[in-house]
A and B are shown apart, each in its own frame.
Chain A
């Protein structure tokens, strides 16, 4: 009994501390992200611009409210969404290298957007990307993500080997890129331009109008993830065990994948494909919280994902005061060492779980 109490103490004390620390980190990075930019604004002016816009120069208010705040919020949402999507996929596929980017979910979302912008766009001959409306772009990305996810799911029902599924994910990505390239070849110059701008997409390109779609989308996805925490736990032992414990596997999978598609699709729709956050963050959270239970992993993943993305955004603005690095490169450079470490730690990918 003493042992049980000791276990209980350990369990209830440490993770909460780590979560608190992560929350502080998110707030610090969020403020830093507002503070850092090509134009120097003092911290007090930023606070004034946010809470008392009458007291500062209207130009400052515009910079803070129209550019920095949406960008920081987008980083916050993107980090949380991609990381939770990665966590869900790693658990459901029981594959430590699964993630929205690696398995081609982001590419699927890109294909959806490409079909909308280049295909439907040329039909209606409306050049400007924004005319499409944020909702239709998000919807196209969700559908694109769902199609690829269904394909991966169908394959993984037949093939159990982790490596095979990863390779197929890469092939799906390549195929969708090829289709997008062909569409680019046949599309008009103005279409092409608006699409290329999208593919280079950054956190900063998200407008307040798009944020109005992104925010509820991500919140809905995260809400679905949180309420499916118990189902994800059951998936840890595999589908047979999940079923033997009374879970409706089909229903659970649909619920979780709707969440994954909304999360990964929304971010890809407005920020373009961002890689490696989705793979790396869940692993660090599992290590830090020393648990596999999703009730704790999901909040941890949301916080660390947001912190990491805010940090990446800060890094992307550091080198020069004028230009910013592509966010995708920063997340890749941060995430890839973690992925390499996961592979090396387990020696062979086949033995991973």
Chain B
């Protein structure tokens, strides 16, 4: 690792110290790094310590062991205000302050830059409006923060970090609670900001396929190890599939996502073409049928496209169905 990294973790252990000074280490031996202009996704199962790691990065709690270097300097040596102009944070908490407008909320990001009374200069106002524009919320300035959608609120929270004007942005699960278009929207905004504004953006997420397709680097927290690399590197070297190794999930190399491991009870021969074939196959897998196109099988299914219908031949005879639903219901009764 070169020293040019904006953020660098050296053999860090994260965790908590209770009031008696007893340590409870959540995750140890973390060595990671990220460069300027990179979008990094932190991925790991529930309870593995993602939030603890992000809170440690944000300076809320000191690392138990090891050191975190932020812009070339140990995080422990930063004063509050200095860190606040280097690194900004978005938590998982949904902010619902009544009577707080989007503009006022984003303007709070100017906190480390304004005077004791928090007076906004024209320059501050310009930066706040520009930040709001960068996340696509122009025209939302006077809307109350508790009366906009979850996706808009999350974008406003990102605008606040932009107003704070830091090189590094850390976000804890910014895509949680959002619908699919909003998840993509938020991640693509983060991607854009990393590239255009040359910021280092680190966010934790459970949306694996979005992370795999959008980020520059994944910090992968596994049961016994923490590794980093481009999503493709981690998939190709077999580390990414280790994520849920103790569960019932299998990694689908082609789709780049996990799915539930099936235990097929029956085998069937499936013929057909196009998307009808693809989706019929999915439905059959879900219903415990294994596709086998060579050996003799008891069930033979033919998919026809015009009009879509499904012909099933079993030892009981032949039947035709006009929806996947009715086909599956019949197959379940076999």
- Interface set of A (CB-CB < 8 Å, partner B): 1, 3-4, 7-8, 10-11, 96, 227, 229-230, 233-234, 236-238, 240-241, 243-248, 286-287, 289-293, 295, 351, 353
Contacts and interface: CB of A to CB of B under 8 A. Distances in A.
B325 interface: no
Interface of B: 58-60, 80-85, 87-89, 91, 93, 95-101, 103-105, 108-109, 111-112, 114, 116-118, 125, 129, 138-139, 141-142, 146, 164
A235 B93 CA distance: 14
Nearest to B58: A244
A42 B82 CA distance: 63
Nearest to A242: B111
Residue from B84, B97, B99 having most chain A Cβ neighbours under 10 A: B99
Contacts of A289: 99
B97 A236 contact: yes
Contacts of B60: 240, 243-244
Nearest to B140: A3
A193 to B, nearest CB: 46
Contacts of A96: 98
Contacts of A227: 116-117
B111 A291 contact: no
Contacts of A293: 104
Contact of B118 (A11, A229, A243): A229
A4 B118 contact: no
Contacts of A237: 95, 97, 105, 108
A118 B139 CA distance: 62
A353 B97 contact: yes
A7 B129 CA distance: 11
A50 B190 CA distance: 66
B58 A3 contact: no
A230 B118 contact: yes
A245 B106 CA distance: 12
B111 A248 contact: no
Contact of A286 (B95, B99, B117, B125): B99
A238 B99 contact: no
Contacts of B104: 291-293
26 contacts: A3-B139, A7-B141, A7-B142, A96-B98, A227-B116, A229-B118, A230-B116, A230-B118, A233-B118, A237-B95, A240-B60, A240-B89, A244-B59, A244-B60, A244-B84, A245-B88, A245-B109, A245-B164, A246-B80, A246-B82, A248-B80, A290-B99, A291-B99, A291-B101, A293-B104, A295-B117
Contacts of A8: 125
B125 to A, nearest CB: 7
Of the listed residues B81, B87, B142, the one surrounded by the most CB atoms of chain A closer than 10 A to its CB is B142
A96 B99 CA distance: 13
B7 to A, nearest CB: 15
B112 A245 contact: yes
A3 B132 CA distance: 12
Contact of A292 (B58, B100, B117): B100
Contacts of B81: 246
Nearest to B84: A246
A348 to B, nearest CB: 13
Contact of B111 (A4, A230, A238, A240): A230
Nearest to B145: A292
A229 B141 CA distance: 22
A4 B129 CA distance: 7
